[in-house]
Amino acid sequence: MDLLESLNWRYATKKFSNKKLAADKLQTIVDAINLSASSAGMQPYRLFVIENSELKKELGVGSFNAQITEASHLLVFAAYTAIRKEDIQKYIQLIARERNTTEESLVDFKNSLEKYFLSRTDEENFIWSARQAYIALGTGIIAAADQQVDATPMEGFDSERFDTLLGLKEKGLKSVVLLALGYRDEEKDPFARMKKVRLPKEEFVTEIV
């Protein structure tokens, strides 16, 4: 399939089969997420990939999203709860190492990051971080469709439960959105064979020439 065919094929899967996701497909999706667009390239979030069935059951307690437990793999996007000076320093060190340059050559960039982020509240920086995580979520959805892997983005979950079970608070993170991965159960999912419904382009798009 080409990209548009893959995106037309995909939908928010409601019922997953018990077919497991192949390691190479999972890795491709994870790699795509890691390559996602990110403001200033900072990636102020982390990705947790969960296959363990018992943990998925614990995470899914009380949620109306059965996909948490039924999917082959569950991706958890967790955003920074704050941006610290040491986070910026680590990022500068990474750039210097990967681009084979010096930290001194990046001092203006470092100063601009510190001036911007350290002047804001933790809440403002968390909101920004969460939005960055959503950009990565979109990349993951597209990558899954490209691999012919079904995916379901989800917000309806107990973030406090996730944060506790995954030890996110200790890492300065908070779960913000999920992506379940696997394969649709066409017999049990009534949406599997339904035509995708989207606005006609002439209504959705305004072209300004």
**Helix crossing, 107-117 with 85-98: angle to 10°?**
150
Render pLDDT for 34-43 as a digit per residue (tens, 0 to 9).
999 999 999 9
CATH of 3-83+120-204, one of 3.40.109.10, 1.10.287.1040, 3.30.70.260, 3.40.640.10: 3.40.109.10
In the chain, domain spans = 3-83+120-204
User: How far apart (Å, rounded) are the C-alpha atoms in residues 85 and 94?
Assistant: 14
β partners of residue 79: 45, 174
Q: Which of 67, 63, 29 is nearest to 47 (CA)?
A: 29
Three-state SS annotation for 102-154: CCHHHHHHHHHHHHHHCCCCHHHHHHHHHHHHHHHHHHHHHHHHHCCCEEEEE
Coil, helix or strand at residue 46: strand
Render pLDDT for 128-149 as a digit per residue (tens, 0 to 9).
999 999 999 999 999 999 999 9
Q: Give buried/exposed letters for 9-38 (b at 16+ CB in 10 A, else e).
A: ebbebbbbbeeebeeebbebbbebbeebeb
Render pLDDT for 55-110 as a digit per residue (tens, 0 to 9).
999 999 988 899 999 999 999 999 999 999 999 999 999 999 999 999 999 999 99
pLDDT of residue 1: 77
pLDDT of residue 7: 97
Residue 156 has pLDDT above 90, yes or no: no
Render pLDDT for 2-19 as a digit per residue (tens, 0 to 9).
999 999 999 999 999 999
Residue 84 contacts by C-beta under 8 Å, 6 or more apart in sequence?
A: 172
Distances (CA, A) of 156 to 34, 62, 129: 24, 10, 19
Residue 121 has pLDDT above 90, yes or no: yes
Full-model pTM: 0.96
Contact yes or no for 150/158 (Cβ under 8 A): no
Contact yes or no for 104/196 (Cβ under 8 A): no
Contact yes or no for 183/72 (Cβ under 8 A): yes
Of the pLDDT bands very low, low, confident and very high (cuts 50, 70, 90), residue 31 is very high
